[in-house]
């Protein structure tokens, strides 16, 4: 077998020739699908086959217990109960459910810490099908080939560790350059009705194929990898009814840009967004995937669409006719029951309706994905808010928008510019989502369209979207604007500069905006000047749902596991990977007079708590990456990042240095957060870093779902103010006590006591959402500590018996 690097490099260097020579599946219409359904190339087909065989029986049992019509999300959740014998009507937003996922996945920044934790379990192999995709650590700079060469060399320690773990424990391994994980999963692993866990917040992409896919932290993933119960607060349900059909410049991206504006970045917290209505059938599977991908920006647990003909077409085009055949057998139960669709307000906790026929293209930003602007309002808003008007970079692609349909629509705009002599004023970068997409686009001549406009085609990796971007265009030291078809635009996320105003839009809008190079341009109404002096109004973009010749079929790169007993030792000089020592258990005492590490003001995402960019390579080394703790968090007392009070030295320093000082002097500390603290990425390092540096408590007005789960898993006491106004009582030099911990119990508050610098005291209550099992994790020091202790106890009992 070729090494991952060689097989990938060969593919990228000879993409056009390989694409032309490859045998491709015949794209069939929904009326005439392939009669033969080969399964040998479909990974874990036996698991998929068993799923569809058992699904009707499991669903019948669910109906027998609940005795009411069901939404699609409920069908999938209840049929995945780990203990079906304990089935009952779980209260949404309150009860915890224990689930058994079908698949798992991770990548090269979530994977190292997840696998390090898995190694602590002592298991010989993973308990469910899973894949590792190396997509985050490729630094975007000069283009695909040179950037991948640099990545292979600079990330060797990480890639080697992941490849060894994959081969030994049972993961499919996709090397750098194979694609972005969500696109790889969509093309190879996702299936309607299934459940998947991945260490990435944009995992819900799989909802475009009717799969319930949820972003989690590494410790949550380890539950699934060990074959244990995976716990989730029973989500509330937001039903989104789609009517009509998209027109002109409007795209699936605009559906979620509008919806994010309606719900905000916290409106979907602890909820599943379920789409229904006749409008869903007019969207392609990849269009649906775009919508579900960015549903994460509302804080939603996940998003999902009902199974339909568009999903069938995509599955067939990616060689999974056999999956279509199985899904068709249960098709009526891969969507909400008719009664739900007829009276949605009765079955969903909230209903939103969007008319696709009247939907206007949107541009969202800057600095928050919910800052929604219909394109007709952007010019006025930009002038009102003083946004830098010049667009310095235009980025097309990413895991959100790199489908064949996306790129063909953007390419149709680009081709018109070429044909009519319109010069592009903004540099363009294109990020294909996978090698399959890259080769198919190359074969069909679409990447050459962008190259004619001097676009840089980047590697099939996350790149600028995750902050892995060596930006050389424009001046990042001053306020500047960029536009991108990505999913997240928090300050500093793309290029590391908090002065960059990033705007989100569809690929075709990004392409059109690049021509004028000004955020105030409206391609629906404005005109562009050609080289001959003519005023040209761009035609509406045209795209193809799927390639007429089918996708390139023979795509190499995935390395399958052999289960060899490979040595997993890690050198003490390894800068990227270091094994973990167990966190200390709770000592049974109240937390008394702890110093405040930081009181954060305003938005504090996981990008603020544990920034990406230059820090991403160290995700497998908790000591090294902890040096970035709360690097971008804004101190409520001085309005600055990187400057907090050290109660011991009586001086200001960075949060990481102050926390490390406390740790070295055996002092625990407290973080106080604002509203929706920890929103955004699923990165568990935003919980592991403070835990490693002996932060004992995170107290916030409210907590984002994944971050709260990560805090619980890692043994930090996660609390929220019973009265959010009590946030204002906390002063910079306070000592904070958490009292009554010996009696902490589910649904019981704890007491917070503040001792101010002048000796005066104040008390108020704080809430938590722990159940009995989660409190056991906390007392043990972490969920993993508790699991390992339980397994040892069981093994000891078995030996005595």
Instruction: Give which of 311, 523, 504, 314 is closest to 412, Cα–Cα.
Output: 523
| Whether 80 is catalytic | no
Q: Is 257 helix (H, G, I), strand (E, B) or coil?
A: helix
List the catalytic residue out of 7, 481, 497, 681: 681
Residue 71 has pLDDT above 60, yes or no: yes
List the catalytic residue out of 488, 632, 660, 707: 488
Q: Is residue 103 part of a domain?
A: yes
Q: How many independent structural domains does the chain possess?
A: 3
188 plus 243 within the same structural domain: yes
Tokens found for residue 320: 């999974």
DSSP string, 544-573: -SS-TT---------B------------TT
Confidence tier at 794 by pLDDT (50, 70, 90) = confident
Confidence tier at 470 by pLDDT (50, 70, 90) = very high
Residue 10 has pLDDT above 60, yes or no: no
Q: What is the pLDDT of residues 595-654, one digit of tens each?
A: 999 999 999 999 999 998 899 999 999 999 999 999 999 999 999 999 999 999 999 999
Q: Is 534 helix (H, G, I), strand (E, B) or coil?
A: coil
Query: What distance lies between CA 57 and its chain's CA centroid?
Result: 32
Helices (H), 175-230: 181-188, 218-225
Confidence tier at 37 by pLDDT (50, 70, 90) = confident
Tokens found for residue 723: 């009265």
- Strand partners for 243: 355
Compute the distance between CA of residue 295 and CA of residue 759 in angstroms, rounded to an integer.
Answer: 47
The domain boundary, picked from 336, 355, 374, lies at 355
Tokens found for residue 654: 């960075």
Q: Is residue 619 part of a domain?
A: yes
Report yes or no: 761 and 752 within 8 Å, Cβ to Cβ: no
Tokens found for residue 765: 């209550």
342 plus 441 within the same structural domain: no
Helix axes 705-714, 772-780, angle to 10 degrees: 50
Confidence tier at 798 by pLDDT (50, 70, 90) = low
Signed CA dihedral, 114, 120, 124, 128: sign only: negative
Q: Is 126 helix (H, G, I), strand (E, B) or coil?
A: coil
Q: What is the pLDDT of residues 669-691, one digit of tens each?
A: 999 999 999 998 888 999 999 99
Q: What is the pLDDT of residues 189-222, one digit of tens each?
A: 999 999 999 999 999 999 999 999 999 999 999 9
pLDDT (0 to 100) of residue 12: 40
Confidence tier at 23 by pLDDT (50, 70, 90) = very low
Tokens found for residue 303: 């998003």
Q: Mean pLDDT throughout 304-327?
A: 98
Among residues of the chain, what percentage have pLDDT more than 70?
A: 95
Q: What is the pLDDT of residues 129-175, one digit of tens each?
A: 999 999 999 999 999 999 999 999 999 999 999 999 999 999 999 99
CATH number for position 639: 3.20.19.10
Q: Is residue 798 part of a domain?
A: no
Q: What is the pLDDT of residues 363-404, one digit of tens each?
A: 999 999 999 999 999 999 999 999 999 999 999 999 999 999
Report yes or no: 253 and 505 within 8 Å, Cβ to Cβ: yes
Report yes or no: 775 and 745 within 8 Å, Cβ to Cβ: yes
Radius of gyration over every alpha carbon of the chain, rounded to an integer in angstroms: 26
Tokens found for residue 297: 């920006």
| Whether 683 is catalytic | yes
How far, CA to CA in Å, does 288 sit from each of 274, 555, 680?
A: 11, 24, 21
200 plus 62 within the same structural domain: yes
345 plus 436 within the same structural domain: no
pLDDT (0 to 100) of residue 19: 30
Report yes or no: 535 and 527 within 8 Å, Cβ to Cβ: yes
> Of 9-18, 326-335, 614-623, which gets the smallest average pLDDT?
9-18
Range of the structural domain that residue 736 is part of: 591-790
596 plus 527 within the same structural domain: no
Compute the distance between CA of residue 679 and CA of residue 427 in angstroms, rounded to an integer.
Answer: 31
Q: What does the buried/exposed string (b/e) look like for 560-571 if buried means 16 or more CB atoms within 10 Å of the residue's CB?
A: ebeeeeeeeebe
317 plus 350 within the same structural domain: yes
How far, CA to CA in Å, does 471 sit from each of 245, 375, 385, 496, 613?
A: 38, 27, 25, 9, 11
List the catalytic residue out of 103, 107, 136, 182: 136
What would the 3-class secondary structure string for 421-478 be? CCCCCCCEEEECCEHHHHHHHHHCCHHHHHHCCCCEECCCCCHHHHCCECCCCCCCCC
Tally: H helices and E strands in the chain:
27, 29
Compute the distance between CA of residue 592 and CA of residue 740 in angstroms, rounded to an integer.
Answer: 11
In which residue are the tokens 């410049």 written?
Answer: 249
How far, CA to CA in Å, does 119 sit from each of 105, 113, 116, 126?
A: 16, 10, 5, 10
In which residue are the tokens 């609390």 written?
Answer: 719
Confidence tier at 800 by pLDDT (50, 70, 90) = low
Q: Is residue 585 part of a domain?
A: no
175 plus 267 within the same structural domain: yes
Instruction: Give which of 404, 395, 446, 463 is closest to 179, Cα–Cα.
Output: 463
Confidence tier at 28 by pLDDT (50, 70, 90) = very low
CATH number for position 148: 3.30.499.10
69 plus 196 within the same structural domain: yes
The CA-based dihedral angle spanning residues 792, 163, 580, 217, taken in that order and rounded to the nearest 10 degrees:
-80
Report yes or no: 137 and 468 within 8 Å, Cβ to Cβ: yes
Residue 337 has pLDDT above 60, yes or no: yes
DSSP string, 148-172: HHHHHHHTHHHHHHHHHHHHHHTEE
Residue 18 has pLDDT above 60, yes or no: no
> Of 29-38, 252-261, 348-357, 668-677, which gets the smallest average pLDDT?
29-38
pLDDT (0 to 100) of residue 581: 93
Q: Is residue 19 part of a domain?
A: no
Residue 8 has pLDDT above 60, yes or no: no
Residue 723 DSSP label = S
Q: What is the pLDDT of residues 404-454, one digit of tens each?
A: 999 999 999 999 999 999 999 999 999 999 999 999 999 999 999 999 999
Give first-to-last CA distance, the chain, whole Å. Answer: 47
163 plus 295 within the same structural domain: yes
pLDDT (0 to 100) of residue 36: 52
> Of 34-38, 105-109, 723-727, which gets the smallest average pLDDT?
34-38
| Whether 349 is catalytic | no
List the catalytic residue out of 683, 685, 705, 707: 683
How far, CA to CA in Å, does 151 sit from each of 49, 116, 142, 424, 793?
A: 38, 22, 12, 30, 44
pLDDT (0 to 100) of residue 683: 85
410 plus 342 within the same structural domain: no
Long-range (24+ apart) CB contacts under 8 A made by 121-126 are 121/222, 121/226, 121/784, 121/787, 121/788, 121/791, 122/788, 122/791, 123/169, 123/225, 123/226, 124/169, 125/168, 125/169, 125/170, 125/563, 126/169, 126/170, 126/171, 126/225, 126/226
The domain boundary, picked from 512, 536, 560, lies at 536
Tokens found for residue 65: 């217990």
Compute the distance between CA of residue 496 and CA of residue 611 in angstroms, rounded to an integer.
Answer: 9
Residue 25 has pLDDT above 60, yes or no: no
| Whether 200 is catalytic | yes
| Whether 768 is catalytic | no
pLDDT (0 to 100) of residue 687: 97
375 plus 426 within the same structural domain: yes
The domain boundary, picked from 491, 507, 536, lies at 536
Q: Is residue 17 part of a domain?
A: no
Residue 799 has pLDDT above 70, yes or no: no
Compute the distance between CA of residue 496 and CA of residue 639 in angstroms, rounded to an integer.
Answer: 19
- Strand partners for 394: 428, 483
List the catalytic residue out of 102, 200, 370, 726: 200
335 plus 374 within the same structural domain: no
Q: Mean pLDDT throughout 512-527?
A: 98
Neighbours of 666 (CB within 10 A): 7
Phi, psi of 68 (to 5 degrees): -155, 165
- Strand partners for 737: 753
- Strand partners for 395: 429, 484
Compute the distance between CA of residue 784 and CA of residue 116 in angstroms, rounded to an integer.
Answer: 11
Q: What does the buried/exposed string (b/e) look like for 541-558 if buried means 16 or more CB atoms within 10 Å of the residue's CB?
A: bebbbbbebbbbbebbbb
Q: Is residue 13 part of a domain?
A: no
| Whether 135 is catalytic | yes
Residue 1 has pLDDT above 60, yes or no: no
Average pLDDT over the chain, rounded to an integer: 93
Q: Mean pLDDT throughout 562-581?
A: 94
pLDDT (0 to 100) of residue 714: 97
Compute the distance between CA of residue 274 and CA of residue 216 in angstroms, rounded to an integer.
Answer: 19
Tokens found for residue 390: 């010049």
Q: Is residue 641 part of a domain?
A: yes
Longest dimension (CA), the chain: 90
């Amino acid at each position: 077998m070729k090494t991952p690097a060689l097989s990938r490099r060969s593919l990228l260097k000879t993409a056009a020739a390989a694409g032309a020579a490859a045998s491709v599946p015949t794209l069939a219409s929904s009326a005439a699908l392939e009669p033969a359904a080969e399964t040998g190339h479909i990974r874990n087909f036996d698991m998929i086959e068993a799923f569809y065989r058992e699904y009707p029986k499991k669903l019948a049992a669910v109906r027998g217990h609940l005795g009411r019509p069901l939404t699609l999300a409920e069908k999938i959740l209840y049929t995945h109960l780990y203990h079906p014998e304990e089935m009952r009507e779980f209260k949404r937003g309150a009860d915890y459910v224990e689930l058994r996922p079908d698949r798992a996945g991770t990548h090269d920044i979530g994977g190292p810490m997840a696998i390090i934790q898995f190694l602590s379990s002592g298991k010989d192999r993973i308990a469910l099908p899973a894949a590792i995709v190396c997509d985050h650590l490729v630094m975007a700079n000069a283009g695909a080939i040179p950037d991948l060469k640099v990545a292979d060399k600079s990330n060797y320690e990480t890639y080697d560790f992941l490849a060894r773990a994959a081969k030994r424990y049972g993961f499919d391994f996709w090397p750098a350059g194979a694609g972005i994980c969500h696109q790889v999963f969509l093309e190879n692993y996702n299936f309607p009705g299934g459940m998947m866990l991945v260490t990435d917040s944009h995992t819900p992409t799989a909802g475009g194929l009717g799969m319930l896919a949820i972003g989690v932290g590494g410790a949550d993933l380890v539950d699934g990898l060990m074959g244990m119960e995976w716990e989730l607060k029973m989500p509330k349900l937001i039903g989104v009814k789609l009517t009509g059909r998209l027109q002109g410049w409007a795209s699936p991206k605009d559906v979620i840009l509008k919806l994010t504006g309606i719900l905000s970045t916290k409106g979907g917290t602890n909820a599943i967004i379920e789409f229904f209505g006749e409008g869903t059938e007019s969207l392609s599977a990849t269009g649906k995937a775009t919508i579900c991908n960015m549903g994460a920006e509302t804080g939603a647990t996940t998003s999902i669409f009902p199974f339909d003909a568009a999903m069938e077409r995509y599955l067939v085009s990616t060689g999974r006719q056999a999956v279509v055949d199985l899904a068709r057998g249960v098709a009526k139960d891969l969507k909400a029951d008719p009664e739900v669709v007829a009276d949605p307000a009765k079955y969903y906790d909230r209903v939103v309706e969007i008319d696709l026929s009247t939907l206007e293209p949107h541009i969202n930003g800057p600095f928050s994905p919910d800052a929604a602007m219909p394109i007709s309002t952007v010019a006025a808003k930009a002038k009102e808010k003083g946004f830098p008007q010049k667009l310095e970079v235009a980025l097309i692609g990413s895991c959100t928008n790199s489908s064949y349909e996306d790129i063909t629509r953007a390419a149709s705009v680009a081709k018109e510019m070429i044909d009519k002599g319109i010069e592009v004023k903004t540099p363009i970068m294109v990020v294909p989502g996978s090698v399959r997409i890259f080769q198919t686009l190359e074969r069909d001549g679409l990447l050459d369209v962008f190259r004619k406009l001097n676009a840089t085609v980047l590697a099939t990796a996350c790149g600028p979207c995750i902050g892995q971007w060596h930006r050389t265009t424009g001046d990042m030291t001053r306020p500047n604007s960029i536009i991108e078809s990505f999913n997240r635009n928090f300050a500093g996320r793309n290029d590391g500069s908090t002065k960059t105003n990033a705007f989100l839009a569809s690929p075709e809008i990004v392409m059109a905006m690049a021509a004028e190079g000004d955020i105030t341009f409206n391609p629906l109404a404005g005109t562009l000047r050609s080289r001959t002096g003519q005023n040209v109004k761009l035609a509406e973009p045209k795209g193809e749902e799927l390639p007429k010749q089918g996708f390139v079929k023979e795509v190499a790169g995935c390395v399958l596991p052999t289960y060899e007993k490979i040595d997993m030792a890690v050198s003490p000089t390894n800068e990227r990977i270091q094994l973990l020592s167990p966190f200390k258990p709770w000592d049974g005492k109240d937390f008394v007079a702890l110093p405040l590490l930081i009181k954060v003001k305003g938005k504090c995402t996981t990008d603020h708590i544990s920034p990406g960019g230059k820090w991403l390579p160290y995700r497998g080394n908790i000591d090294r990456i902890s040096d970035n703790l709360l690097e971008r968090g804004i101190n409520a007392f001085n309005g600055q990042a990187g400057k907090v009070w050290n109660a011991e030295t009586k001086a200001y320093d960075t949060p990481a240095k102050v926390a490390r000082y406390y740790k070295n002097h055996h002092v625990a500390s407290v973080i106080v957060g604002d509203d929706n603290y920890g929103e955004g990425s699923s990165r568990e390092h935003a919980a592991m870093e403070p835990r490693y540096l002996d932060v004992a408590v995170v107290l916030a007005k409210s907590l984002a779902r994944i971050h709260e789960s990560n805090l619980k898993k890692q043994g930090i006491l996660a609390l929220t103010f019973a009265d959010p106004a009590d946030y204002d009582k906390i002063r910079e030099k306070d000592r904070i006590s958490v009292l009554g911990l010996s009696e902490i119990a589910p649904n019981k508050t704890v007491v917070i006591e503040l001792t101010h610098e002048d000796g005066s005291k104040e008390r108020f209550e704080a809430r938590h959402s722990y159940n009995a099992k989660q409190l056991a994790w906390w007392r043990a020091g972490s969920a993993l500590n508790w699991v390992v202790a339980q397994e040892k106890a069981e093994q000891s009992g078995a030996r005595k018996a």
